[in-house]
Amino acid sequence: MEMFTFSARRSHLLASADQDIDDIAVSWSRISPWLPWMKMGGQPGELVVHVAGTRVGSWQQLPEPLRSQIADNFALYQTPPPLNDNRPNETTWTNFRDFLDGAEHQP
């Protein structure tokens, strides 16, 4: 199960649809079985993940070491995808599965 909560000021939501809203808070929670890459087999248990954050107005407002970690290792995430992005939706599970599949085929 995944649960998302987004919150913003009412006045910002009622403003022009063309205006970006920078003052947004987000909460994400997940309750799930062990992820396949954890190789937990039939062990009892499950994951409970809870994340909270806010939107920043610019790349420079991200805190260190997050900004340098993304710049050095995940440059793809420095810019958002285009609004007409036609790639299929992907979950964290399918993304990591594909990563593992690629790692297994390396010499």
For each of the chain's 107 residues, which pLDDT tens digit applies? 899 999 998 888 888 777 778 789 999 999 999 987 788 988 999 999 999 999 888 888 889 999 999 999 989 888 888 889 998 888 777 887 888 888 554 43
Give the containing element (helix H, strand E) for 24: strand 24-32
- Predicted TM-score of the model (pTM): 0.60
Look at residue 43 in the predicted model and tell me its pLDDT: 94
Look at residue 105 in the predicted model and tell me its pLDDT: 43
Look at residue 14 in the predicted model and tell me its pLDDT: 86
Split into its structural domains, the chain has a count of 1
Token pair for 103:
């790692």
Token pair for 75:
């440059």
- Its domain, for residue 22, covers 2-82+89-104
